């Protein structure tokens, strides 16, 4: 069995613009830049043969999916497991305030395999986000479609990609990353 999965992060929101941590508890929509980014991503994905889009239920990811869906004529299905991580007490705070309040957490947040049991107070750990996302990705192996898109979020996608050999870089808004499943392994292309 082979699958091609285009993972992408939603377009920009005002929270992104102002460097505020969103998480699953913040349900912001795209700003004008984010809408343009989603339209550009739709053009990039147009000839990839995508049959279906699975989306996080959060407005920013769903709105990005819907813009792409109109361009590539693929249905959108909400899949709760592809939502952003729960960042607990850090949600809604400015990046600098998060660094000040939890320097020990933020210092390892972007480090591969480093303290995976770390999470913000009242939130999910890196390991919990990674496990949820990896299980959701593997569940797509049971679908009939061969080429699929997934609309999700920066941390959720980053921790998923770490599990299958990816780096720790922050994923830019409206950027697609192709992963393939073949010979019983996931590979980032």
pLDDT in tens, 55-70: 999 999 999 999 999 9
Distance from C-alpha of 19 to C-alpha of 6, rounded to nearest angstrom: 26
Residue of 63, 61, 90, 70 whose CA lies nearest to 171: 61
Share of the chain above pLDDT 70, in %: 99
CA-based radius of gyration for the chain = 16
Would you mind telling me the total number of residues written for the chain in this entry?
189
Tokens encoding 175: 């950027």
Which of 10, 12, 63, 153 does the annotation list as catalytic? Answer: 10
Catalytic residue among 12, 84, 91, 124: 84
**Nearest one of 46, 51, 47, 37 to 71, comparing CA atoms:** 46
pLDDT tens digit string along 95-119?
999 999 999 998 888 887 678 899 9
- For residue 49, is pLDDT > 90? yes
* pLDDT classification of 149: cutoffs 50, 70, 90: very high
The per-residue pLDDT for 166 is 86
Secondary element (H or E) of residue 134? helix 126-139
**Residue 10 known to be catalytic:** yes
Tokens of 64: 């990005």
Q: Is 91 considered catalytic here?
A: no
Which secondary structure element, helix H or strand E, spans residue 188, and what is its range?
strand 185-188
The whole-number pLDDT of residue 109 equals 86
Q: Got the DSSP string for 77-97?
A: EE-GGGSPP--GGGTT-BHHH
Six-digit token string for 93: 């705070």
Confidence of residue 150 (pLDDT cuts 50, 70, 90): very high
* 3-188 is a CATH 3.40.50.1240 domain: yes
| Residue written as token pair 């349900």 | 27
Give the span between the Cα atoms of 47 and 43, in whole angstroms: 8
Name the burial class of residue 3, with classes exposed (0-12), middle (13-18) and buried (19+) by CB atoms within 10 angstroms of its CB: middle
> Could you say which DSSP state residue 48 is in?
S
What does the pLDDT read at residue 181?
97
| Nearest-angstrom CA–CA distance, 121 and 86 | 10
């Amino acid at each position: 069995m082979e699958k091609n999965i285009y993972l992408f992060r939603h377009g920009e929101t005002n929270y992104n613009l102002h460097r505020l941590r969103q998480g699953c508890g913040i349900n912001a929509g795209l700003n004008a830049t984010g809408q343009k980014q989603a339209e550009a991503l739709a053009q990039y994905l147009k000839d990839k043969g995508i049959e279906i889009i699975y989306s996080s239920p959060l407005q920013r990811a769903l709105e990005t999916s819907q813009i792409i869906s109109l361009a590539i004529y693929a249905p959108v299905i909400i899949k709760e497991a592809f939502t952003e991580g729960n960042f607990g007490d850090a949600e809604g705070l400015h990046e600098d305030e998060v660094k000040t309040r939890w320097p020990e957490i933020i210092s390892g947040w972007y480090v591969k395999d480093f303290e995976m049991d770390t999470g913000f107070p009242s939130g999910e750990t890196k390991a919990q986000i990674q496990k949820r996302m990896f299980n959701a990705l593997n569940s797509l192996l049971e679908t009939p479609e061969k080429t699929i898109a997934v609309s999700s979020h920066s941390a959720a996608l980053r921790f998923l990609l770490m599990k299958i050999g990816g780096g720790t870089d922050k994923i830019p808004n409206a950027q697609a990353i192709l992963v393939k499943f073949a010979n019983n392994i996931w590979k980032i292309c």
